[in-house]
Structure 1
């Protein structure tokens, strides 16, 4: 029984690592803009637009989201307001995998959020 459990855990970890590895880093502002231009970034209860001119807009749950972004030293750096609350400034690592985009806060060391590109 122990061997089956260990094999199951090893298989799960391998699949999890493989799924994470499929995401490729976005290295430049031009690449980022080409990925998000004309697309909605969606996840449950969230729909955002990130424009080439540096604006962020959309909704999160039932509240408006707005902000601005710049590309700095290989990171997506943004300010954000959600429902009138200032979420502050944060530089994030960006990765893509087909129709998915992942933002990882604190220059890639913090929490991640995956969005579908529509």
Structure 2
């Protein structure tokens, strides 16, 4: 009886869509990225960022201080090159997702580090 009940519960959980499923949707178009993200004050932990409509970006990192750089929307990705503590980071293209309240940026075209951002 116990095994049947356990099996039933496991099968039910595996076949039922999870209520906490990921609600982030990928931003694919430049126009959507511009409307949602550009020229907004963003925060990720104690850090800040502004991705500006003139192709520039800047902000402040808790440990490294102020940074700046340039960005462009390329083939469905946010591509940016930053200068942090006088060192250029090199261009990195990031997958951007939005859940209606928060943003999620994933480096290396969605294969790298994830950063969650909120609007300040």
The interval holding the TM-score normalised by the smaller chain is: 0.7 to 0.9
| Structure 2 equivalent of residue 54 of structure 1 | 55
| Structure 2 equivalent of residue 29 of structure 1 | 30
2-side partners of 1:84 and 1:22: how far apart?
A: 37
Give TM-score, length-normalised by structure 2: 0.79
Question: Which sections of structure 1, spanning at least 5 residues, go unmatched?
Answer: none
1-side partners of 2:93 and 2:30: how far apart?
A: 13
SS in 2 for 1:88: coil
Q: Does the C-alpha gap of structure 1 residues 90 and 38 become closer, same or farther in structure 2, counting only changes over 3 Å?
A: closer
| Structure 2 equivalent of residue 76 of structure 1 | 78
Pair 1:89-2:88 in alignment: no
Q: Which has the higher helix share?
A: 1
| Structure 1 equivalent of residue 3 of structure 2 | none
**Aligned pairs, how many?**
107
| CA drift at 1:73 | 0.8
2-side partners of 1:68 and 1:114: how far apart?
A: 20
